[in-house]
Structure 1
Amino acid sequence: MINQLSWKVGGQQGEGIESTGEIFSTALNRLGYFLYGYRHFSSRIKGGHTNNKIRVSTTPVRAVADDLDILVAFDQETIDVNCGELHDKGIIIADAKFNPVKPENTKAELYAVPFTEIAADLGTSLMKNMVAVGASCAVINLDVQVFTGVVQEIFGRKGEAVVQKNMEAIQQGYNYMFDQLGGKVGAMQLQQADGQQRMFMIGNDAIALGALAGGVRLMAAYPITPASEIMEYLIEKLPKVGGTVIQTEDEIAAATMAIGANYGGIRSFTASAGPGLSLMMEAIGLAGMTETPLVVVDTQRGGPSTGLPTKQEQSDLMAMIYGTHGEIPKVVIAPSTVEEAFYDTIEAFNLAEEYQCPVILLSDLQLSLGKQSVEPLDFSKVEIRRGKLVQEELPEGEDKSYFKRYEVTEDGVSPRVIPGMKNGIHHVTGVEHDETGKPSESPANRQAQMDKRMRKLENIRFETPVYKNAKHEEADLLLIGFNSTRGAIEEAIERLEQEGTKVNHAQIRLIHPFPTEELLPLIESAKYVAVVENNATGQLANIIKMNAGYPHKIKSLLKYDGNPFQPHHIYNGSKELFKLHHIYSSSKERL
């Protein structure tokens, strides 16, 4: 028996690849296994190669597996593109319809199963994905009845006859593969899971649920990959609590509409990806100048321009911190797991209202669309803090003057009212203004208001600005990452530690203002530092150097080909950097 399985299904986009993976993984999740799924797909509606890689384990997993046990192929391209991941004892299960051919250098065994023919004999070739699921069950010796509940949920509305046909397709796929395998049935049988019930969700669903739990009642957005699932989730859920989602004509309108709703006292936000965030920059500046709470979710993807809209990248970092013209206080948060995405979304709304500034929740495609097993969320942790929002009636001013909406305060945060409050009248304008909001170009006033706004950054409080796994007082290596790289880093560390390398780990969750005090001791106590990120210019590494120093010690492990890091990328990269560092140090000693 094995305690972990890596399974992938691939074919042309539009022929049920995603649903095949969804059915397979959902059933295993309900048995209590931990899962991690990552989908590779093309930036078009139909056609082009797509695959869904599912990792199944008896222990928690947060990364794409290095190798592959089972490859289910609906076309030859799937074999050609993905066979390199198969280990020598791996298995290819391919549709016999296209006369599959195994590449010469592949040692994995190929089994041709007539997915399409079996499905057509049962009534429709559309059920070929169910045949493929059944064939996979024979390899891992999994009772096909575990799929009954999933199939019932998906097809029940179409009638019991359709449910039975799909279950029969799974059974016939199992029977055919069982006969083919002979004595190898169950060669990759999984150890029994713990049977615990867990959610199985993508990061975007966690963000949307966090927004709902955090009191959001309006989302204004324009659809864009990989952020659209947030909008889709809330289109269904928000009306149930008296809220709504508005699809705007563009991202500029989305951001300004969210600002208007927040000004009116309603928690509102928007979500987009790099191209949409570029359009929002002026509006984000408006929120900073008017000191209006605003939460923006940025799900990073491959750029620039349209770039690689369905592929992994982390190249929006500098833009999210420095993209607006002029200088405003801004908070940038970067969760690294689905659970953190839920809780950090709630905290984003609290921070936005407490400090009356834009808060950007930074995600990436792998975190937003990768599907993970998630322990039950603790809703008792949900806290809604609205900062200096004045909710009791204001007293009338002595001279009946305007309310000091932008009053200069020690902590940089002024009292805030919603429109219509008695004695709360004030100007709101995007130009520089005095304490009542009236336009002012006075040099003294300008400096006082700028200093007031920027003081907010001195008081930002975030519970865990840096996730630390620092077992060593003095480490050979410190690995630093942000967003979805955490799982791959953790697995690479396990291998490095087994070989005797002392490795500490820091995952930065508060990007701006930068948590120098929390990170600096780890940098100082490490022989060298490797920053893991999906971009070409080492943006996070440069931010660390700007804030913490030690440029000679900090190196980059970069990946910008559109694919996420796998553990072996970080393991091999760390070994190479460590080797170069050793050579460099030895050369200095000789000199």
Structure 2
Amino acid sequence: MINQLSWKVGGQQGEGIESTGEIFAIALNRLGYYLYGYRHFSSRIKGGHTNNKIRVSTKQLNAISDDLDILVAFDQETIDVNYHELREGGVVVADAKFNPTLAEDSKATLYAVPFTEIANELGTSLMKNMVAVGASSAILGLPAESYREVVEEIFKKKGMSVVEKNMEAIQAGADFFNKEAGGQIESLQLEKADGKKRMFLIGNDAIAMGALAGGCRFMPAYPITPASEIMEYLIKKLPEFGGTVIQTEDEIAAVTMAIGANYAGVRTLTASAGPGLSLMAEAIGLSGITEVPLVLVDTQRGGPSTGLPTKQEQSDLMAMVYNTHGDIPKVVITPSTVEEAFYDTIEAFNIAEEYQCPVIIVTDLALSLGKQTVEPLDYNKIEIRRGKFDINEELPERVDGEYFKRFLVTEDGVSPRVAPGMKNGVHHVTGVEHDETGKPSESPENRVAQMDKRLRKLNTLADRFDTPVYTNAPHEEADLLVIGINSTRGTINEAMPRLEADGIKVNHAHVRLLHPFPTEQLKPLMDRAKKVVVIENNATAQLASIIKMNVGGTNVESMLKYDGNPFLPSDIYKQCKELV
């Protein structure tokens, strides 16, 4: 018996690859297994190779695996592209329709199963993916009935006859493998799971759930990969809470609508990817100078321009910190797990209102679209903080001719905030530099006072932010400090024991607050390491550059990957070993 295995299904985009992986994974999740999934997909709607790799374990997972135990192939390209991942003793289950072949250097075993033929006999070739699920269940020794609950949820709206046909297809796939291929494979039998119910989420779903829990009631957005699932989730859920989603004509409209709604006192979210955030740059500056809260999500993908819109990259870091012209206070949060994406989104709304500034939540494609098992969320941890804003507050009576000092210069840099319609709260709002009442002013003295006020808002944020730097640092003095951001956290943690087994003392730090940078939290770890390696998915070492600007360090080296694929634990192990 084994405690984990890796399963992958591949074929041409549009032929049910995603649903095959979903049904397989959800059923195992409900049996109590932990899962971690990553989809490789084309930017085309139909056609082009796609695959879904799912790791299954009896213990918590936070990374995709180096190797592969089972490959389910709907075409020869899937075998040719992915067979090198198969470990010795691995299995390929392929549709007999295309006469599959396996390279001579492969140590895996090929089984040809007539997915399409069996599906056609049952009424439609569309069910070939269910036949493949059945064959997979036979390999693992799982009864076909394990999938009934999931199949009912997906197909019930089409009628119970469709549910039963799909269950027949799963059973037929299992029966064929049991009869013709000998049934379950002993070396691939998983230990029994604990049976506990856990959530199974992509990062985008967690962000959308966090927005709901954090009081968001409006989302203007323009669809873009890999951010669209946030909008799609909230389209379904926000109306149940009295909110709404508007699909705007472009990202400029989305961000300016968000600013307007926040100005009116409604917690609002917009989400995009790198190209969309480029269009939002000027409006982010408007949020900064008008001191209107703004929460944005940037789901990083391969750039520049359209780039690799469906592939992994972490190349927006500099853009998120420095893209706005002029100087404004801005917060950039970088969650590293699906669970953190939920809680960080709630905190983003709190920070945006407490500090009256834009807050950007930065993820990457692997975190946004990678699906992970998540322990039940603790809703008792949710706290709503609105700072110096109370729509029911009684404001001081106005002196004739005087406006409310919405931009009052204060010691903490945060001015009193009001919403339109509040009695005695009349004031100007403009993107031009202004005095305390909002009236345009070009006075040098006023300019310095307002600029200094805005910029000192965030002086204490790094100290107040919960875990600005995640650490896994067992050593007081380390041979190597590995630093990462976003989805590489689990991958680094998985590589660490391999390095430790080779006698290398390794500490790990993961940046969760990119701006303002947590210098005081990271510097002691860097000072206690002989060498620092920064791991990131871009070509120009953006995170390493930001670290050097804020912390310094002559012992900092970079490990870069920008081919569109996420880091594997073996990538980090091999390259770190070479550096020491």
Q: Is TM-score (shorter-chain normalized) higher than 0.5?
A: yes
For the pair 1:99 / 2:99, whether they are aligned, the reply is yes
**Pairs within 5 Å for 1:463-502:** 463-502=466-505
Q: Which whole-Å CA distance do the structure 2 matches of 1:93 and 1:139 have between them?
A: 10
Deviation at 1:161? 2.1
> What are the superposed Cα offsets for residues 409-452 of structure 1, whole Å, 9 maximum, x if unpaired?
01100000001111111000000000110000011111111000
Q: 1:560 maps to what in 2? A: 562
2-structure distance, mates of 1:269, 1:152: 34
Q: Which amino acid aligns with 2:488?
A: T
What is the aligned partner in structure 2 of residue 583 from structure 1? none
Q: Could you tell me whether the CA contact under 8 Å between 1:301 and 1:311 is conserved in 2?
A: yes
Give 2:505's aligned amino acid.
K
Q: 2:534 aligns with which of 511, 531, 535?
A: 531
Contact 2:139 2:183 in 1 (8 A): no
Q: How do residues 107-256 of structure 1 correspond to structure 2 at under 5 angstroms?
A: 107-182=107-182, 185-256=185-256
TM-score, scaled to structure 2? 0.98
Question: Are the counterparts in 1 of residues 141 and 183 from structure 2 also a CA contact under 8 Å?
Answer: no
Q: CA deviation at 1:400?
A: 4.5
Contact kept in structure 1, 2:226 and 2:299, CA below 8 Å: yes
Contact 1:292 1:358 survives alignment (8 Å)? yes
- 2:577 aligns with one of 575, 578, 591: 575
Structure 2 counterpart of 1:429 = 430
- SS for the counterpart of 1:187 is helix
Tell me the percent identity.
Answer: 75
Alpha carbons 1:390, 1:415 under 8 Å: kept: no
Inter-partner Cα distance in structure 2 for 1:449 and 1:325: 17
Q: Secondary structure at the match of 2:487?
A: helix
Q: Tell me the alpha carbon deviations over residues 49-70 of structure 1, each in whole angstroms, 9 at most, x when there is no partner.
A: 0000000000001111100000
Structure 1: distance between partners of 2:139 and 2:187: 6
TM-score (norm 1): 0.97
Equivalent position of 1:544 in the other structure: 547
331 and 367 in structure 1: CA distance in 2 versus 1, 3 angstrom threshold: same
Deviations along 1:502-528, one digit per CA (max 9) or x if unpaired, are 111111100000001110010000110
Say whether the 8 Å CA contact 1:178–1:185 is kept in structure 2: no
Matches of residues 299-310 of structure 1 in structure 2 within 5 Å?
A: 299-310=299-310
Task: String of CA shifts for 1:512-550, please: whole Å, max 9, x gaps.
Answer: 000011100100001101111000011001111111111
Q: Could you tell me which residue of structure 2 aligns to residue 414 of structure 1?
A: 415
TM-superposed deviation, 1:463? 1.2
Match of 2:449 in 1: 448
**How far apart are the structure 2 equivalents of 1:180 and 1:446?**
80
Question: What's the CA shift string for 1:379-419, capped at 9, x where partnerless?
Answer: 11111100011431112134451011111101100000001
Amino acid at match of 2:385: R
Residue matched to 2:368: 368
The match for 1:74 is: 74
How many angstroms does 1:262 deviate by? 0.3
Question: For the residues of structure 2 that align with 1:270 and 1:164, how far apart are their CA atoms?
Answer: 41
Measure the CA separation in 1 of the matches of 2:234 and 2:47: 29
Contact kept in structure 2, 1:34 and 1:60, CA below 8 Å? yes
Residues 231/252 of structure 1: CA separation in 2 closer, same or farther (3 Å cut) = same
Q: Secondary structure at the match of 1:106?
A: coil
**Contact 1:142 1:189 (8 Å CA) reproduced:** no
Task: Report the alpha carbon displacement of residue 210 of structure 1 after superposing the two structures with TM.
Answer: 0.2
Residues 284-340 of structure 1, C-alpha deviation per residue, up to 9 Å, x if partnerless? 000000000000100000000000000000000000000000010000000000000
Q: Which amino acid aligns with 1:435?
A: E
Determine the C-alpha separation between the residues in 1 that align with 2:7 and 2:267: 42
- Alignment partner of 1:182: what SS? coil
The 8 Å contact of residues 411 and 459 in structure 1, kept in 2 or not, is answered as no
Aligned match of 1:46: 46
Total equivalences in the alignment: 577
1:7 Cα deviation from its structure 2 partner: 0.2
- Given that 1:11 and 1:50 are in contact with CA atoms closer than 8 Å, whether structure 2 keeps it comes out as yes
Q: Deviations over 1:10-30 (max 9, x none)?
A: 000000000000000000000
| Residues 138 and 183 in structure 2, CA contact (< 8 A), matched pair in contact too | no
The answer on whether the counterparts of 1:211 and 1:345 sit within 8 Å (CA) in structure 2 is yes
Q: 1:96 & 1:310 partners in 2: Cα distance?
A: 30
Distance, in Å, in 1 between the alignment partners of 2:331 and 2:304 is 23
* SS of 1:201 mapped into structure 2: strand
Partner amino acid for 1:526? A
**Equivalent position SS for 2:36:** strand
Letter in 2 for 1:508: V
1:588 is matched with: none
- In the other structure, the counterpart of 2:26 is 26
Structure 1 counterpart SS, 2:55? strand
Aligned to 2:272: 272
Q: Secondary structure at the match of 2:576?
A: helix
Please report how far the alpha carbon of residue 183 of structure 1 lies from its aligned counterpart in structure 2 after TM superposition.
7.2
The Cα shift of 1:489 comes to 0.3
The 8 Å contact of residues 9 and 53 in structure 2, kept in 1 or not, is answered as yes
Measured on the aligned residues, the alpha-carbon RMSD in Å equals 0.9
Counterparts of 2:183 and 2:426 in 1: how far apart (Å)?
A: 81
Measure the CA separation in 2 of the matches of 1:477 and 1:336: 21
CA distance in 1 between partners of 2:277 and 2:148 (Å): 43
Measure the CA separation in 2 of the matches of 1:360 and 1:185.
Answer: 48
- Partners of 2:342 and 2:543 lie apart in 1 by 23
CA shift at 1:158, angstroms?
2.1
What SS does the aligned partner of 2:53 have?
A: strand
Runs of at least 5 residues in structure 2 that lack an aligned partner in the other structure = none
Deviations 1:100-150 (A, max 9, x none): 011121121111000000010011111100110111112111111111111
Distance in 2 separating the partners of 1:192 and 1:119: 30
SS at match of 2:92: strand
Cross-structure match for 1:404: 405
> Gapped runs of 5+ residues in structure 1?
579-591
- For 2:110 and 2:19, how far apart are their aligned partners in 1? 23
- Among candidates 461, 465, 482, match of residue 462 of structure 1: 465
> Which residue number in structure 1 is paired with residue 517 of structure 2?
514
> 2 CA distance for matches of 1:250 and 1:292?
21
Letter matched to residue 497 of structure 1: E
Deviation at 1:184, TM superposition (A): 5.9
Partner Cα distance (2:366, 2:560) in 1: 16
- Alpha-carbon deviations, 1:73-107, whole Å to 9, x = none? 00000000000100121100000000001112112
> For 1:283, what is the secondary structure of its paired residue?
helix
Q: Which runs of 4+ in 1 moved over 4 A?
A: none
Give distance in 1, aligned partners of 2:503 and 2:185: 39
Q: Structure 1 residue 180: deviation in Å?
A: 3.3
Contact 1:138–1:186 (8 Å) recurs in 2: no
Q: Does 1:289 align with 2:292?
A: no
2:177–2:183 Cα contact (<8 Å) kept = no
Report if aligned partners of 1:32, 1:196 keep a CA contact under 8 Å in 2.
yes
Counterpart of 1:546, as a letter, is M
1:175 & 1:397 partners in 2: Cα distance?
A: 81
